[in-house]
Amino acid sequence: MARYQDLTGTIHGDFIVIEEYSEPDLVKGRLWICQCQKCGAKEIIPGSSIRKHTHKFCSTCICSTVKAMERFAGIAENINEELRHVGEQTQYTAETVRDAWLWHQGVIFD
């Protein structure tokens, strides 16, 4: 078994590690709450991803780019079209789709 390494306070890419999230996940190992130094968003990131430098860019910063928002707008348009076919009146926006994607990526909304 790997030796425990406290990552609190270390900087990796855009993130500074704030604290351990919870008990180790059976699949992902230890999880850490990290905060983006650019925008302040928090994400839950597996320790292995931090140590291997595979998760070093903030999802919130990346998702705020014009190109990303154009993609989210296209996805929202497709979802809305499908919903119209089944008689739903719900309308999704690029921001709604972006927030759902960020939630799926482990971004913490305060």
On whether residue 2 sits in a domain, the answer given is no
When comparing pLDDT for 104 and 88, which is higher?
88
Interval 83-87 mean pLDDT? 92
Give the domain range for residue 80.
Answer: 11-108
Interval 40-62 mean pLDDT? 86
On whether residue 1 sits in a domain, the answer given is no
**Quick one: pLDDT band at residue 8, thresholds 50, 70, 90?**
very high
On whether residue 95 sits in a domain, the answer given is yes
On whether residue 20 sits in a domain, the answer given is yes
On whether residue 3 sits in a domain, the answer given is no
Tokens for 44?
A: 């839950």
The residue among 53, 6, 15, 47 whose CA lies nearest residue 34 is: 15
pLDDT value for 59:
83
Cα(2)–Cα(74) distance, integer angstroms? 44
pLDDT value for 2:
60
What is the sign, positive or negative, of the torsion defined by CA atoms of 104, 106, 107, 110? positive
Residues near 91 by beta carbon (within 8 Å), at least 6 away in sequence: 80, 83
Percent of the chain residues topping a pLDDT of 90: 34
